[in-house]
Structure 1
Amino acid sequence: MLNLRRLLLLRDLAELGTVTAVAERRSITSSAVSAQLRVLEDEVGAVLFRREGRNVRLTASGEVLVEHARAIMRDVDAALGAVAATQERTAGRIALSGFETSIASFAGPLLQRLGQDRPELQIRVVQADTPTSLRALRHGDIDVALISRLDFHAGDPLSGLHAEELLRDPLVLLAPRPLHRHLRTLGLRAATEEPWITGRPETGLAEALVRLGEQAGFTPQVTHRVIGAPNMCQLAATGIGLTLVPLLSVPAALRGLIVDGVDVGGRSISAVHREGAAGNPAIALVMRTLREVAEERTDGTGDLLHAAS
């Protein structure tokens, strides 16, 4: 009989490429991972991977077994959902992860509503960026992920997952009030010599700013780099520079800094769960509640209301 935990280690190896990375993810030693994988090879009677320097490559047998491991996880989710559906009340434990601004905008209202209406449903919230959330979702560490994707990002493939877009969150330009008229009439060329605030170079918002400059024909003079759009907003509020952030991250008190009439792209916000969990009443309730929270923030077309808090 195949051991599910060993199958999941092989699936981790297929994704991460090294035994060390698998060990770090599972909080065990590399030698323990290697030993479990050797036992798995003995169980199936086939070589499942070969070492190539520091990395490993799955054999054809390994690839086949990984696909079955993913199918088994879908069946496990379906089984848990079927059992949950036999209960009179929606109960259980759900782990939800989300990126920074989704915690206050979606996870908070979700906890408040379901805490009042369904106290028997326990929800645990974890903050994580989108790639980390999707990995955790695939590995069964969480049940629902709130993710964001900038318009120019293809994003991670969602094979084996079901995603529902909750709303469109436009990017907005925050600038000192004296610059607004120039930016509306002259476009972003008016900001050629102005200092900018953004994230670290590898972040999506930093990339969005670079692309925006390329489209407008100038290179943004980045003076300040901070972590998180809320921090960018707070720095912009001091008048030291401009910033490009999602509307959802802008506090109501700072909405007056938004330059109207300037299209700078946007992002989508979605809720994702594993395909096999679709029949789980608890998952369905969480997804339905997240949709309700999103609908209250949009104008009926899926776009975030400008006045949303």
Structure 2
Amino acid sequence: MALDDPKTLVSTEWLARHIKDPDLRILDASWYLPGSDRDAQAEYESAHIPGARFFDIDDVSDQRSDLPHMVPPVEKFMSRMRALGVGDGHQVVVYDGSGLFSAARVWWLFKLMGQDDVAVLDGGFPKWQAEGREIEDMPPVIRDRHMTVRRQNQMVKDVTQVSSAAKLKDTEIVDARAASRFRGDAPEPRPGLRAGHIPGSRNVPFATLLEENGTMKAPEALRGVFEDAGVDLSKPVITSCGSGVTAAILNLALTRMGKVDHSLYDGSWSEWGQFPTLPVATGDN
């Protein structure tokens, strides 16, 4: 059982105890890979945790970019959160319909925007439902709340910074995709991308950080997963994945382990894999 920490990860028991707290805000951040045949918005409208608001990862993004769900401008994030009634003084809990998949991306986005009191629901909506806890299909009553944003630029990296880190080898680049995609054996779910990984990067598939029931492993076990993958935890870490969603699960795990010098490559493989001028490695190294 993970220790409850309202800045990283909380249990369904914790949420059930606090669900009536006036300053609690719950966000359904469900998002599914292209081709999964799941509609996150429709699923939210049919059933969600009482009081939850739907956080649309594709909408709360930088629409000026050709890449999927890139970090939004600060002003857009603030306006979208105001519309959701999420702001200063709120404790935010984020969950998703897979267990622990896309919720970590929204947790990381809040941290990037300088919001500290935000946690992921361990095990997400599947665990909540499996325990027979209350659900509803009613939209919440929303009141505007201002949010003060202080963007933490060190938490996000662009392609130039990642390319430099790969050349200098002074930072561990850790890829959260499945091993078959990392090696280049399996095709990417998005068309037009080369297969493989950033040269010198390590592979920690996000699923290896989770227990069979979809909850996150304990901090010492998480550390073991990273070390077994050859990650030198004395170095700063940049996380990556297909499009910057599951990479955030690695950031959440690293934070749970007490590591602070880590960031996320926002463009991830959706960006790196499309540029023929960037080097690509295949196989296990």
Q: TM-score, normalised by structure 1?
A: 0.26
Q: Rg bigger for which structure?
A: 1
Q: Normalising by structure 2, what TM-score?
A: 0.27
Q: Which structure features the higher share of strand residues?
A: 1
